Amino acid sequence: MPGYTAPRRDLSFVLFDVLDAEAHWRAMAATREVDRALAEAIVDAGGTLAESAFLPLNASGDAEGCRFDDGAVSTPRGFAQAYRSYAEGGWTGLGGEPAYGGQGMPKMLTVAVEEMFFAANTSLYLYSALSAGAALLISSHGSEAMKQRWLPEIYAGSTTGTMCLTEPQAGSDLGLLRTRAEPLEGDEYSLTGTKIFITGGEHDLTDNIVHLVLARLPDAPEGSRGISLFLVPKVLDDGQRNAVAAGAIEHKMGIRGSATCVLNFDGARGYLIGEPNRGLACMFTMMNYERLSIGLQGLGAGEIAYQNALAYARDRLQGRAPRAEDRRENAAADNLLVHPDVRRLLLTQKAYNEGGRAFAAFVGLQLDIAKFSDDEVAARDAADLVALLTPVAKAYFTDRGFEGTVLAQQVLGGHGYVGEWGLEQFVRDVRIAQIYEGTNGIQAMDLTDRKTARDGGRMAGLFADRVAAFLADGHCPERLRPGLEAALEAFRRSTAFIVEHSAEDPALAGSAACDYLELTGLLAYGWLWAWMVNVAEAGLEEDGADVDFLQGKVATGNFFHARLLPLSATLEQRISSGSASIMALAAQQF
């Protein structure tokens, strides 16, 4: 069975040595009581539960999958017990509103916990990940009565939540959806329609599920302006089953222990959330939460794949080291770690995983500042950074996570392709993360068109200024400065090009989108790696330094700057080539 050890040491380094989480928490009234001891205890407990309860069910859950029988869904053996352990620990409500039974922990901390559970068992964790997003939506847009009724149950894990957007004819274009909502007496509505690809739409982990459903009221405007949002419970308050049922579950490439359902609403009773015809704006609260969460799925997958590839490389004896000093005496072969190309595979994974962990914590910090800070300017700037970087986190984490699982497979060679080693499951499980919650192409379009071209580059400039300030304050190691400065200038020039030419070339934003998102991610990781290297080098000067960890951090940062960050130049060249080469081919010429 594949192994996994929660990255406690690295999480502590990122949170406290690099980002100085305690100082930020002390500065905000809502997080003032959170300190390093509490945070590390939460991370340790979460890691232990992920290792002991979630991980052992990962391979068996994949092999067994979910079962569908006349509308009922059974999760794989052991899932219900592991979920109860998770729920009894209060993990769904870790970041929830204290007034309704949540624990109120900062997002900077909850992203660390999410990564570990996603790494250990994505299928099982998805049930809770959707519930946390549903709770956030209800707490942000629901009535007080709705919050009182549902948030305590969701935080306690006795009720789960879903997000019901997609229909057979309406995928990314939600303006095409047809589910109808007819007013009934009082505050109730009758919903009729079909939703597909609904994660956790039916299961046996809890007795109740709250479905958050996009639908159209009578006489609603056409397109996305005519969409409203409704809460539809599986079980009504009188104990009767509502008229919503699973019509099927999907047979998928991966995440087979996660029930992906077709849901049929046949006059189901529901309750309006927010204002009529404003449902999509409300739903984006949950969608943006899930986008960051699914990004963490990619990060977790990359980490568990790396750990197992590294363990294999340490043990597997194949060939002789190219350097005589690395060869074992009186041995026919050396382990895989002596070979430069295997080191390239592993270092690429390690650099992206640890860079991603720092980026996740940084985005989490901005979410906390935007929500809790009394400084209006700081809160506004943080909210702008979150808006800009959320699509980057979702897409870049999942692209790198998928790449990492494939690189890990490559380390194992043929053994990576067969089931018993677990790597092929990691590849299958993480592949969906590049697709759902808005494909990565859609994330790139959001960043490049809505967040950059239409914004005049304002938010992108705010991010670039953060990197420039780091370069100016003397904390960037001098050997890393030229590469980071070059990447920053490539980002600034590319931003200016997109802003300047998008109006005259309507295809430019779409043509540049994926490259621009990659460039933004590279710059973010290059900045954070320079920051981490600076902190690690300072730590090496202290008495009792954790030498192996800190030297490893420095070496990995050097690798990122030498071998990965230079890709920024190629990305800028592709962006500046415009849309001509992409749009030149006529449809009949494909």
Q: Extract the tokens encoding 507.
A: 């295809």
For the stretch 438-489, pLDDT in tens is 999 999 999 999 999 999 999 999 999 999 999 999 999 999 999 999 999 9
For position 590, what pLDDT does the model report?
A: 96
Given 290, 437, 518, 572, the catalytic residue:
437
Which of 423, 526, 553 lies closest to 468, judged by CA? 526
How far is residue 433's CA from residue 425's CA, in Å, rounded to a whole number? 14
Q: Are strands 159-164 and 208-215 parallel, antiparallel or unpaired?
A: parallel
Secondary element (H or E) of residue 397? helix 376-412
Q: How many residues does the chain have?
A: 590
Specify the pTM: 0.97
Which of 362, 358, 384 lies closest to 460, judged by CA? 384
What is the number of other CB atoms lying within 10 angstroms of the CB of residue 297?
30
- Provide the Cα torsion 561, 567, 568, 569; round to 10°: 120
How far is residue 527's CA from residue 534's CA, in Å, rounded to a whole number? 11
> Is residue 202 annotated as a catalytic residue, yes or no?
no
For the stretch 111-133, pLDDT in tens is 999 999 999 999 999 999 999 99
The burial of 222, by beta-carbon neighbours within 10 Å (0-12 exposed, 13-18 middle, 19 or more buried), is given as: exposed
- Provide the Cα torsion 532, 534, 537, 542; round to 10°: -90
For position 174, what pLDDT does the model report?
A: 86
Which of 172, 134, 47, 144 lies closest to 438, judged by CA? 172
For position 191, what pLDDT does the model report?
A: 98
Secondary element (H or E) of residue 148? helix 144-156
At what angle are helices 279-315 and 423-431 packed, to 10 degrees? 160
Asked if 139 and 97 count as a contact pair (C-beta separation under 8 A), the reply is yes
Which of 162, 137, 164 lies closest to 282, judged by CA? 137
- Region 556-585 average pLDDT: 98
Range 19-23, long-range pairs (CB < 8 A, 24+ positions)? 19/108, 19/358, 19/361, 19/362, 19/365, 21/106, 21/108, 21/109, 21/361, 21/365
- Region 96-106 average pLDDT: 97
| Ramachandran category for residue 72: left, alpha or beta (phi over 0 → left; psi -120 to 50 → alpha) | beta
How far is residue 108's CA from residue 459's CA, in Å, rounded to a whole number? 21
Asked if 211 and 234 count as a contact pair (C-beta separation under 8 A), the reply is yes
Which of 279, 396, 244, 411 lies closest to 344, judged by CA? 411
Classify the C-alpha dihedral 470-471-474-480 as positive or negative. Answer: positive
For position 548, what pLDDT does the model report?
A: 98
For the stretch 283-322, pLDDT in tens is 988 888 899 999 999 999 999 999 999 999 999 999 999 9
Q: Extract the tokens encoding 534.
A: 């600076």
For the stretch 136-190, pLDDT in tens is 999 999 999 999 999 999 999 999 999 999 999 988 888 899 999 999 988 899 9
φ and ψ at residue 105, rounded to 5 degrees = -70, 150
Q: How confident is the model at residue 397 (pLDDT cuts 50, 70, 90)?
A: very high
For position 172, what pLDDT does the model report?
A: 87
For position 567, what pLDDT does the model report?
A: 98
Question: Which DSSP category does 544 fall into?
Answer: T
How far is residue 412's CA from residue 425's CA, in Å, rounded to a whole number? 14
How far is residue 96's CA from residue 289's CA, in Å, rounded to a whole number? 13
For the stretch 431-440, pLDDT in tens is 999 999 999 9
Q: Extract the tokens encoding 18.
A: 């690099």
For the stretch 198-220, pLDDT in tens is 999 999 999 999 999 999 999 99
Which of 385, 566, 380 lies closest to 465, judged by CA? 385
Q: Are strands 67-69 and 72-74 parallel, antiparallel or unpaired?
A: antiparallel
For the stretch 32-81, pLDDT in tens is 999 999 999 999 999 999 999 999 999 999 999 999 999 999 999 999 99
Q: Extract the tokens encoding 222.
A: 């056409």
Q: Are strands 260-273 and 208-215 parallel, antiparallel or unpaired?
A: unpaired
Helices (H) and strands (E) in the chain, counts: 19, 9
What percent of the chain has pLDDT above 70?
Answer: 100
